[in-house]
Structure 1
Amino acid sequence: MKTMHMLMMPMVLTGGLSTAALADDGSLSPGKLESLLNDADAYGFTHYDDVAIDDGNRLEVEGWRDDGWQLDIDMLIEDGSLVHEKRHKGTIPDWSLTSDELHQALTNAQNAGMKRFSELDVDERGHVDIEGYDAQNSEIDIRLERNDLTVTGVEHD
């Protein structure tokens, strides 16, 4: 029994390490990000201004509900469960992205070469900045124009 237990231990550790390594690079695959954003939509988000990986195992989402409540939540990347929430009454700014616009911005970033996501930020000047990694695992920064979500710049680090 001891031998079997010891043989299983490396498999458990290897699985844990590979999962940790994926989370430690501070990025998400498009499919995993899509799933987490669907959870955020179900939670009530209708407008977004910031989405980012936090501490390698959480997705921080900031935005608004249709009723004007501003939300700031952290979700576990592993399963989308809510681990932190702050909210206060506010007004939805016209520069924030709707859920459909957010998904379109991310699709446009993927078409510009982003393979894994790290962060998205929308500002009141009309810029959408998306950071992530390209196919060579190099950092990539993509800027989009807020009005039509066209890519206006791509920078490889």
Structure 2
Amino acid sequence: MKTLTQWIAPLTLAGMTGTVLADGGGLSQDDLMRLLDGADAYGFSHYAELDLDDGHRLELEGWRDDGWELEVDMRVEDGTLLHEAQTRSQIPDWSLTGDQLRQALANARRNGLQRFSTLDVDGVDDIEIEGLDGDGRELELTLDHDLKVTGVEHD
């Protein structure tokens, strides 16, 4: 099996904007999509959590199609693998497929999200997405499991 770096490095080195932390923090939509494409290629089929940690590391939690739970940390700037853990598990019904994840992010973008910080799928209630709006203000969006935005809050 290829490592995450072998999958992501060609994608990110060819396409990273170099402005990962511009505009006061958060991850640009383009850079996030490139990293998610690499995570999909690595084997992620379902997602539970994404977290931009310290502005330079993206933490991903989710599952492969075969049920193995994945926890991966990668360097945002170049996709370098920093940490990887796999645990035998089952894919929960509440997790988001890659397509659903991208739809949730697109819905958040339509409601003001410009730069990404975190996404957390709550198996019971909602999906929370945090980041920054176009003015650099903190923004928290809540989506239901049909991926519809049910709440928008500026901090």
| Alpha-carbon contact 1:142-1:154 (below 8 Å) kept | yes
Q: Which runs of 5+ in 2 are unaligned?
A: 1-17
Select the structure with the greater relative contact order (CA < 8 A; seq sep ≥ 6): 2
Structure 2: distance between partners of 1:21 and 1:78: 7
Letter in 1 for 2:148: T
The alpha-carbon distance between structure 1 residues 122 and 21, as it changes in their structure 2 partners (threshold 3 A), is closer
| Alpha-carbon contact 2:116-2:131 (below 8 Å) kept | yes
Residue 21 (structure 1) shift: 8.5
- Match for residue 110 of structure 1? 109
Runs of 4+ in 1 over 3 A off after TM superposition: 23-26
Letter in 2 for 1:31: D
Letter in 1 for 2:138: E
Structure 1: distance between partners of 2:124 and 2:116: 23
| Alpha-carbon contact 2:20-2:27 (below 8 Å) kept | no
Map 1:44-83 to 2 at 5 A.
Answer: 44-83=43-82
| Alpha-carbon contact 1:23-1:56 (below 8 Å) kept | no
Structure 1: distance between partners of 2:62 and 2:25: 21
The alpha-carbon distance between structure 1 residues 109 and 121, as it changes in their structure 2 partners (threshold 3 A), is same
- Match for residue 28 of structure 1? 27
Structure 1: distance between partners of 2:39 and 2:55: 18
The alpha-carbon distance between structure 1 residues 97 and 26, as it changes in their structure 2 partners (threshold 3 A), is same
TM-score (norm: length of structure 1): 0.83
| Alpha-carbon contact 1:26-1:53 (below 8 Å) kept | no
Structure number with the higher helix fraction is 1
Q: Which runs of 5+ in 1 are unaligned?
A: 1-18
Query: Which has the higher Rg, Structure 1 or Structure 2?
Result: 1
Letter in 2 for 1:154: V
Is the deviation greater in 123-132 or in 100-109?
A: 123-132
Cα deviation, 1:122-147, whole Å, max 9, x if unaligned, reads 0111410000000110000000001x
| Alpha-carbon contact 1:23-1:57 (below 8 Å) kept | no
Identical counterparts, % of pairs:
56
The alpha-carbon distance between structure 1 residues 25 and 90, as it changes in their structure 2 partners (threshold 3 A), is farther
Aligned residues: 138
Map 1:38-49 to 2 at 5 A.
Answer: 38-49=37-48
Structure 1: distance between partners of 2:102 and 2:19: 27
TM-score (norm: length of structure 2): 0.84
Letter in 2 for 1:122: V
- Match for residue 156 of structure 1? 154
